Structure 1
Amino acid sequence: MTTKPQSSAAKPSGKSNLVDMNWDPITRIVGSLGIYTKIDFANNTVAECKSTSSIFRGYSIFMKDKDPRDAHFITSRICGICGDNHATCSCYAQNMAYGVKPPHIGEWIVNLGEAAEYMFDHNIFQENLVGVDYCERMVAETNPGVLAKAENTQAPNSAAHGYRTIADIMRALNPFSGEYYREALQVSRSTREMFCLMEGRHVHPSTLYPGGVGTDATVQLMTDYMSRLMRYVEFMKKAVPMHDDLFDFFYEALPGYEHVGNRRVLLGCWGSFQDPEACNFSYQDMESWGNRMFVTPGVVVDGELVTTSLVDINLGIRILLGSSYYDDWTDQGKFVERDPLGNPVDARHPWNQHTNPHPQPRDLEDKYSWVMSPRWFDGEQHLPLDTGGGPLARLWTTALAGKVETEHLKATGSGVRIRLPKTGLKPEVELEWKIPRWSNTLERNRARTYFQAYAAAAALHFAEKALAEIHAGNTRTWEKFEVPDEGVGCGFTEAVRGVLSHHMVIQDGKIANYHPYPPTPWNASPRDHYGTPGPYEDAVEGQPLFEENSRENFKGIDIMRTVRSFDPCLPCGVHMYLGGGKSLDRLHSPSGGDPEQ
């Protein structure tokens, strides 16, 4: 059910009472993430945590000299999970560099595709990957006392979701046998179909381009999308109250559980869902159209919203090294001295980054990861922002900003109200996500369920806007453009698991520099050259442990829950652990062909 420590027996770390326990690779995600800890079993806490990644991708290297128009097709392949987020972000950066504004219907279609992706990915991760950490079988292995209490605890929202006790919810989450687990798999299929209706193919879109989309805008297209969306809306009316009951129970059953995965509130959101009535993709206007996005961009520091400006966000990005396997580049010169508004651009900004890989043995006291350390500079500090797994930061910034209001969504300053209309079997409901007291494991997971409902409500608005365009005869979905000889572009959006930006420099009509920054480097970054730990490390280090197993049978469930609450994804490493020093031999036929064919 969980990945066991890499070694068969826990070893003392050399510090008194501390034991080295490592999980490498972490399971239930795309591989190559390793978590290396020192556990203080005397005090049931994690004394130290290091986050490692063992793969080097190099997209920023082989993008050089490519035709800029190919950027979204290439960068989509960065990930086999959220490739469409990369393609979308790349198109945003290209739109800026080319000075092109897509037709309104083109942007509404892109929004509908991205909303479907959020629904699909959050659903399958929450219910079929994260949910396993809270299912009956897992809790029975790690906290039998908690399961016994769950059997006798009534679910407060049972009328909404149909499960009488908390233990019934846990049973419904059991992999393959649980009713809710299986239902979620069916739901994920329909959300993937919704995406394909809008962008042709999942997860690498075939109809998404700078300047718009190649999708035919028809009433039938919207009808097919809406029929699936309304089934998903009905599912959300069950999912949200069910998860509220489950996560609230863990606070009650395990006093102090709020400290699991808790860290300082340092959240970043780059915004999502463009408003085509405001967005022209011009850098000079980026602050104004960024504030019209249907997920508000922003940075939250200690609970305070310090900016919602995409210009501030862009200029504040710094790429640090420290514990990463790279050599520095600050003596190699800049590609961009000033942004289009005349603001100076730092040498550590992605526009000016050079990628200098330096492979070397892993040393947890020095260099230990291929992930760099993105930070956001507020003028005084290089802040290790996290994304809260994506939804926590999105909802938090949107709530505080108070800028979003549609017939289905309203940001109130202290939360977000989500109105889901009447569906086949359930009446209209209004859900409300409220800013929590903590940025911790349970609240990251809770926000993921609420944001599924948020994405569904947003999609209702986008579909209505798209239908209005179609009925008005505005069905042209793409605007032509020309690639300039010189230019810069930056795209900002939210990948499923958090902040995503693409930074492009064009020289002589070709890509001179290109750097995509998805959420994984922000969340999984190692210690930077100031010694500041990355968010995974910070959230795990110092957290209490509530698992009832002894050291000999320790599963590390509280650690796994924290790491997975960030929705980790380090594509696209393929790892195989055979254990016991076994080797795997592949036979080749004398003719050189595959003996299995």
Structure 2
Amino acid sequence: MVKKELLIDPITRIEGHLALRVIVDTNTRRPERESVRSYVTMFRGFEVFDIGRPPEDMPHINSRICGVCGASHANASVIAADMVYGVSPYRMGVALRNMAFAMTDHIYDHTIILNMLEGPDYSAPVVATMTPSVYAEAKKTLAPNRDKHGFTTIADIMAALTPITGKVWQLAAKFQRYAREAGVLIYGRHSHPSTLIPGGISTDLSNAEYLVIGYIYRLTKLTAWVKYMYYIWEDLLTFYRDTYKYEDNGISYHPDEAKSTVLAVASSGIFDDPETYEAVGDYVEWEEFYKAMEENAKKRMLKPGVVYKGELIHNSYAKYQASIVEYVDHAFYEDWADKVSTLPWYGELEKSDFADPLGNKLAGGKSELVPYHPWLKVTLPKLTARDWNGKYTWVAHVRMVMPDGRIVPFEVGPYARLLVASKQPGSDYLGLFKSNGNGTLSVTLPRACTDELPQSVCDEDTFTWEVPEFSSTLYRLWARAFNILVDVAAAWNFATKALEYVKTGHTRTSRPWRVPNRITFGVGFTEAPRGTVRHWMVQKGGRVLNIQIHAPTTGNASPFDTKFDGREKRSPFEQSAINTYVTEETEPQDWTGLDFVRAIRSFDPCLACAAHITFVKDGKPIKTVKKIITTAHYS
């Protein structure tokens, strides 16, 4: 057997610093399982900035975690702050939060990810050079949607994805700007929103109707754009699936244990129902807020839940958060389990026998796992030499304790979000988005035209997708392309509601918050384009005692382990690399790892978000920051 080691460091066209190491059997063109390691080569120090600061500062500090998905972290932090203070926004405030979030971190970001970061892997220069037979076939294959998007063959689509010069690449650069502009009308700026506050949003509504109309003007252009984009990606991905059976390349989540150790996917759901979230609380105890949040999450436009081995095992926001554990066997940190009993808030959780206000036991009720729930996590960095069988990365192990007691890696992202949504009946306010609960989603987008695109994309159209039973390179891209249709439907949904609220006089956005002197806990879960963002917060007297941040990539990129049960557990990144095979049509010595980076990029890694450490000296944080916003209240 001849072996080829591929050390891809850095992986480009992602956010941050990520590398992949595999040893490939040149005969089978598949990697040796034991050789696969994905590793994060950067670290950040954001959580230290939060300790001792007011909860209302958290959205503004934590949006700086990332220059791409800052609004995702801001929204997760503001939901956690809502909970620790026990106050939710008025309905107009919820609608504005949804409208801005749909635009900035979703329609804008998916446009860039799909066409400018992932798309070049399927562009004419790459395909013609590395897989010339595929390109030759693409030149002969007519694009089924050619009457819609105007590209005659699949090869024409590949040419349009060429960086800088390609038509689709250039249009993506233009249309992402419209999405950012629409979001900034509400956020004030992006990617670091300036208007998110506990209990609301401080957007100036002195001319509310004008603001919403400006938003809808841009949304109309973007509606035409996402239809155009989906027609293109549907053709390209269908070509790879039907002609080359590429859907089996890069499998991560799979319900069959023989094919993957990633046996679960999870989603927090996204886009709160304005009336339901308004009713959650006006200065209530955090425990009551937490209980109400459970029902609120179930009324999100995309619903929360966990799919395990192909079955939806629950649709609970609370069970999702309670089941998470994080440990550090193969990451550059020290274990903290023997220190948790000294934490000031440990006793509060101990009083409830380490259960949440709904009675869900943290970490599945397993006493040996309780210290690894994020409410009790203590971050202790410990840099050592890289060891493939020891510590080799800056991201920790993020796992989920299932109802059967098994500890499993799980996947988040557009595929996970849509699979979870597809297994629950649901629709939005306007009926643009529908799930039949049997695995199929549909989106109907209204007539919308823009001068930059062919008139053939103007007409109203309905798009349907039967979500595949497993996640692979191809299906993760397909999920992203379909997800942006859902995001546009959400934008129409909440813009329409906002106009109604303006006309009926419901223009108040925010409730004033008051500071509890007791220890309170918060959980802010929402969906970034690349998966669930999870923020756990503990405060007392208006000061943050602890905060733990999980970005989507934290778990997706986590290292392998066999802790607690002896079973091999691989992250989605590493599992997808294990299930990747080489299609490059060159000699092994010239392989570049195209299929491996396609697999990793299809997750849209964001490493600035994923890696966090806290710098301490003599048990105290080294750095502090000044208060960012005042405790002013807005109506």
TM-score > 0.5, shorter chain as reference: yes
Partner residue of 1:275? Answer: 273
Give the alignment of 1:441-480 within 5 angstroms.
441-480=473-512
Partner residue of 2:251? Answer: 261
Could you give the per-residue CA deviations for residues 309-348 of structure 1, whole angstroms, max 9, x where no partner exists? Answer: 0111011011122211111111112533342334443221
Question: For 2:234 and 2:10, how far apart are their aligned partners in 1?
Answer: 30
1:109 aligns with 2:104: no
Offset of 1:207 from its aligned partner? 1.1
Structure 2 CA distance for partners of 1:178 and 1:343, relative to 1, 3 Å = closer
Question: For 2:328 and 2:610, how far apart are their aligned partners in 1?
Answer: 21
Question: For 1:34 and 1:84, how far apart are their aligned partners in 2?
Answer: 26
Give the alignment of 1:303-452 within 5 angstroms.
303-334=310-341, 335=346, 336-337=349-350, 338=354, 339-345=356-362, 346-379=370-403, 380-387=405-412, 390-406=413-429, 407-413=431-437, 414-424=439-449, 425=455, 426-452=458-484
Is the Cα–Cα contact under 8 Å of residues 321 and 528 in structure 1 kept in the other structure?
A: no
Partner residue of 2:60? Answer: 73
Question: For 1:573 and 1:408, how far apart are their aligned partners in 2?
Answer: 34
Give the alignment of 1:214-253 within 5 angstroms.
214-217=202-205, 218-253=208-243
1:210 aligns with 2:198: yes
Offset of 1:476 from its aligned partner? 1.6
Question: For 1:444 and 1:64, how far apart are their aligned partners in 2?
Answer: 36
1:497 aligns with 2:498: no
Offset of 1:535 from its aligned partner? 1.1
Aligned-partner residue type, residue 241 of structure 2: Y
2:548 maps to which of 499, 504, 515: 515
Q: Secondary structure at the match of 1:223?
A: helix
- RMSD of aligned Cα (Å): 1.7
Is the Cα–Cα contact under 8 Å of residues 111 and 273 in structure 1 kept in the other structure?
A: yes
1:561 aligns with 2:634: no
Question: For 1:432 and 1:258, how far apart are their aligned partners in 2?
Answer: 22
Q: Secondary structure at the match of 1:347?
A: helix
1:191 aligns with 2:179: yes
Aligned-partner residue type, residue 525 of structure 1: S
Offset of 1:111 from its aligned partner? 0.2
Offset of 1:59 from its aligned partner? 2.5
Offset of 1:155 from its aligned partner? 0.8
Offset of 1:529 from its aligned partner? 4.5
Is the Cα–Cα contact under 8 Å of residues 95 and 210 in structure 1 kept in the other structure?
A: yes
Offset of 1:163 from its aligned partner? 0.9
Aligned-partner residue type, residue 81 of structure 1: V
Aligned-partner residue type, residue 242 of structure 2: E
1:543 maps to which of 580, 588, 604: 580
Offset of 1:509 from its aligned partner? 3.4
Give the alignment of 1:578-593 within 5 angstroms.
none
Structure 1 unaligned blocks of 5 or more: 1-15, 575-597
> Aligned pairs, how many?
557
Q: Secondary structure at the match of 1:277?
A: helix
Partner residue of 2:71? Answer: 84
TM-score normalized by the length of structure 2:
0.85
Could you give the per-residue CA deviations for residues 214-257 of structure 1, whole angstroms, max 9, x where no partner exists? Answer: 11230110110101101111112211121111011112332455
Q: Secondary structure at the match of 1:423?
A: coil
Partner residue of 1:54? Answer: 41
Is the Cα–Cα contact under 8 Å of residues 323 and 529 in structure 1 kept in the other structure?
A: no
2:87 maps to which of 88, 100, 113: 100
Q: Secondary structure at the match of 2:340?
A: coil
2:129 maps to which of 111, 136, 141: 141
Offset of 1:66 from its aligned partner? 1.7
Is the Cα–Cα contact under 8 Å of residues 291 and 357 in structure 2 kept in the other structure?
A: yes
1:552 aligns with 2:589: yes
Partner residue of 2:139? Answer: 151
Q: Secondary structure at the match of 2:273?
A: coil
Structure 2 CA distance for partners of 1:572 and 1:412, relative to 1, 3 Å = closer
Offset of 1:528 from its aligned partner? 2.9
Structure 2 CA distance for partners of 1:103 and 1:508, relative to 1, 3 Å = closer
Partner residue of 2:27? Answer: 42
Question: For 2:488 and 2:323, how far apart are their aligned partners in 1?
Answer: 32
Is the Cα–Cα contact under 8 Å of residues 500 and 517 in structure 1 kept in the other structure?
A: yes
Could you give the per-residue CA deviations for residues 149-194 of structure 1, whole angstroms, max 9, x where no partner exists? Answer: 0000111111121111111111111111111111111001111101
Q: Secondary structure at the match of 2:227?
A: helix
1:21 aligns with 2:6: yes
Partner residue of 1:586? Answer: none
Could you give the per-residue CA deviations for residues 254-284 of structure 1, whole angstroms, max 9, x where no partner exists? Answer: 2455233354242111111111211226101
Q: Secondary structure at the match of 1:112?
A: helix
Question: For 1:550 and 1:437, how far apart are their aligned partners in 2?
Answer: 34
Identity %: 36
Question: For 2:149 and 2:190, how far apart are their aligned partners in 1?
Answer: 30
Deviates more, 1:54-63 or 1:205-214: 54-63
Is the Cα–Cα contact under 8 Å of residues 324 and 369 in structure 1 kept in the other structure?
A: yes
Q: Secondary structure at the match of 1:403?
A: strand
Aligned-partner residue type, residue 399 of structure 2: R
Question: For 1:256 and 1:418, how far apart are their aligned partners in 2?
Answer: 26
Question: For 1:28 and 1:329, how far apart are their aligned partners in 2?
Answer: 35
Is the Cα–Cα contact under 8 Å of residues 87 and 205 in structure 1 kept in the other structure?
A: yes
Deviates more, 1:244-253 or 1:274-283: 274-283
TM-score normalized by the length of structure 1:
0.91
